[in-house]
Amino acid sequence: MTDPLLPGDPAELGGYRLLGRLGQGGMGAVYLGEHPDGRLVAVKMIRPELAPDTEFRARFRSEVNRARQVPPFCTAEVLDADPDHPTPYLVVEYVDGPSLSAVIARNGPLGGGALHSVAVGVATALAAIHGASVIHRDLKPSNVLLAPGLPKVIDFGIARAFEATSRHTRTDQMVGTVAYMAPESIDNEHFGEVGPAADVFAWGAVITYAGTGRTPFRADSPTATAARILTQPPDLTGLPAPLRQVVARTLEKNPADRPTASELLQLLLDLDPGDKTELIRPELLQAAAAAQNNPRPHRRPRRLRRTVLAGLGVLALGAGGLFASHTAGGVSKTVNPAESAPAWQRADGGPALIDRLDRPAQWREWVEAEGRCLFANGRLEARTGMAPVFRCSGPSDPFAKDQAIRVGAAILTPGSCAAIWFRMVGTEGPLASLCETEVRLGLDTADGVTGEVQAALPSALGRVRRVEVLVRDQQATVSVDGAAVLTKQFGAAMPAAGRVTFGVLDAAISGNAHVAFTGAEVVAAASRSAAPSASGPRPRFADLTRGNVTSVATLHAYDPAHASAVLEPMLFLTGDAYCRAFQIDRSDDRCVHHAWMTESSNTKVTVPIAANAKYFTWEDPDGAVHMDAPEKGGTYPAGAKKFAQMFKKGEASMIAVTTEGGRITRMAVVYTP
């Protein structure tokens, strides 16, 4: 339901026309907005008192960038944001449906298939959110919207921006609604740090409320409720038995005893069909399957299904002729080998992964009986073993919408194919294969590769070829050495989002397929209709992979054993310098009153660490902290061992980094969680 705008409400924000009020929350006012192209969106305007806070803006910017990477599986997609606007705002997908809390208040508790649908939908959303390394932190019935067909979870990941704002959050104040808080959110001294398991606990409380009309630790006051969460078992009376057992597991006091979001989703899908089929819609089951994002490489033997070419064959009409292919089950474009690869441009601020593939970092080593992926000879080499297909263990970062993949690939033994999976969900997704004398493009499923189309190539055994896959909407184009050779329209079979990784196929069933990869780049590509950014110019970020540079960066992974780090370059500027970089009027509040501003590149790069690299922290030998020059990081020597201990939890931290010749020579702590 939309209410009229109030006196003092803006009529427009960031180019979005505001049509009415959807609500008011702790974050600020929520408006129904209209995009210039006519689409309806939800525009969340941050509370005005937070606008002058530099710390809040920096945290808000970081959390929004993370939230943008969450795939749209039962979540309201983050569409736009401007943390640097005089009144910061966030734009998300408009979900035309009531909240779970409103439905329960109006109609009473849910039951049967309706309850199970909500349970599966919210678990699906958590699996997608956690798969993008985001934590919701404020999951509650009012943040679950019951859209037609699919429940949608909103406001994920943003609570931390408020939690970390010291100027507006008292030290004894908790962010969230007590009835849905995990024990560690209330008392982390005894129950450990707040992580994804807290969202799983909140799921259990939300589903208890959905099925009974009350929370599992209900008491007369927030303080009494918190005490019951810390000390008493949950009251699950009224929940159906199979679901009650799953909910009980999610409400364990110890976070380690709760299932992960992916495990929770599998538990729900494995329940007896009699408890879930009545009202669960096919699109919800499809979203649930898509959200089960397993970053581990393929484990079980699989058979390859090659499309039989009946009478048509593959034509190779000389070195200067046409490469043509026609196969059942797909649409293949006939192209000239001289035709240039389709142009693409990285989406403004979109995610990117860059890795030389010369050492373990974003892609990792993996050895099993079915095959192995190891780093040797300065590249990633993949071999089959007992299985004809083997995937390397790659990054879990999901990519949605348009994207481009570039990688060098070499076929090292006859009958081998270098495989590139994209939009991969679990172990399935579109597959581009560079083989010894052809390129293939199809859909990898549990039954093998289906709908495959092919195009012939001259043999280049042992030579590195530059392969590019460009994905636009539901179509993919493969180019080799700068020439487009194959296009396929996947249609509805193309997943909405998924991971990218590499591997090997044994087309000859020899048991010894062997390929190599080098120099990987995966980016979100700008769509054909993308308009220029309304937030002003995007400045250049430091290229840590070459030359001699110094920059502040987010440290995502640190592996001293393999001398590698995964970094995300960022800007860490005074307010005045930030306004110059973004061409903001010098009279703007950000230029005058903000001591420091940050901007993330949203680009993860693997950078080698020099043998003589130096490490620094803010702590002096006596343990005192001295933060004199934040942009340069700590100045007290730490040593590689102490530095490794600081980051062993794998949480993203901010460091000042210096590289020489593309190798890290200095890392200094700026901020750790």
User: Per-residue pLDDT tens for 65-115?
Assistant: 777 778 777 888 888 888 888 888 888 888 888 899 999 999 999 988 889
Could you give the residue numbers annotated as active site? 138
Over the stretch 294-331, which tens digit does the pLDDT of each residue have?
Answer: 343 333 233 332 222 222 222 222 222 222 222 333 33
Binding region for ATP: 44
pLDDT at residue number 139 = 92
Q: Give the orientation angle of helix 241-250 with respect to helix 196-212, to 10 degrees.
A: 150
What would the mean pLDDT of 1-7 be, rounded to a whole number? Answer: 82
Which of 23-32, 58-67, 191-200, 215-224 is least confident? 58-67
Residue with tokens 């190539």: 457
Same domain, 483 and 362: yes
Residue 533 inside a domain? The answer is no
Report the 10 Å Cβ neighbour count for 648: 9
Residue 19 inside a domain? The answer is no
Residue 138 inside a domain? The answer is yes
> Minimal CA–CA distance to 140: which of 63, 230, 207?
207
Which of 524, 557, 586 is where one domain is finished?
Answer: 524
> Minimal CA–CA distance to 110: which of 74, 151, 156, 153?
151
- Two tokens, residue 67: 């939230």
What would the mean pLDDT of 27-45 be, rounded to a whole number? Answer: 86
pLDDT at residue number 38 = 84
Same domain, 374 and 433: yes
Same domain, 446 and 323: yes
Which is more confident, 329 or 383?
383
Confirm if 120 and 283 have CB atoms less than 8 A apart: no
Tell me how far apart the alpha carbons of residues 633 and 619 are, in angstroms, rounded to a whole number: 11
Which of 491, 507, 524 is where one domain is finished?
Answer: 524
What would the mean pLDDT of 437-447 be, rounded to a whole number? Answer: 91
- Two tokens, residue 395: 């990054």
Binding region: 44
Which of 524, 539, 557 is where one domain is finished?
Answer: 524
Model confidence band, residue 471 (pLDDT cutoffs 50, 70, 90): very high
| Chain center to CA of 303 | 30
Is residue 373 over pLDDT 90? yes
Dihedral-angle region of residue 117 (phi above 0 means left; psi in -120 to 50 means alpha; beta otherwise): alpha
Which is more confident, 59 or 594?
59
Same domain, 57 and 200: yes
Residue 70, burial from CB neighbour count under 10 angstroms (0-12, 13-18, 19+): buried
pLDDT at residue number 175 = 45
Give the CATH number of the domain where residue 460 resides: 2.60.120.560
Same domain, 252 and 372: no
Same domain, 614 and 519: no
Residue 624 inside a domain? The answer is yes
Its sign, for the CA torsion 69, 498, 202, 255, is negative
Residues 6+ apart with CB under 8 A from 318: none
Q: How many domains does the chain have?
A: 3
Tell me how far apart the alpha carbons of residues 45 and 621 are, in angstroms, rounded to a whole number: 45
Give the CATH number of the domain where residue 174 resides: 1.10.510.10
Which is more confident, 143 or 64?
143
Model confidence band, residue 8 (pLDDT cutoffs 50, 70, 90): confident
Same domain, 329 and 472: yes
Residue 140 inside a domain? The answer is yes
Domain of 331? Answer: 315-524
Residue with tokens 């590769």: 449
Same domain, 280 and 394: no
Residues linked to residue 487 through DSSP beta bridges, in sequence order: 477
Edge-to-edge strand ranges of the sheet holding 28-34: 12-13, 16-24, 28-34, 40-46, 89-93, 78-82
Same domain, 487 and 584: no
Which of 83-92, 170-179, 242-251, 365-374 is least confident? 170-179
Percent of the chain whose pLDDT exceeds 90: 35
Confirm if 599 and 394 have CB atoms less than 8 A apart: no
Over the stretch 499-526, which tens digit does the pLDDT of each residue have?
Answer: 999 999 998 777 789 999 999 999 988 7
What would the mean pLDDT of 118-126 be, rounded to a whole number? Answer: 92
Residue with tokens 């940050």: 598
Looking at every residue in the chain, the average pLDDT score rounds to 80
Residue 298 inside a domain? The answer is no
3-class SS at 362? coil
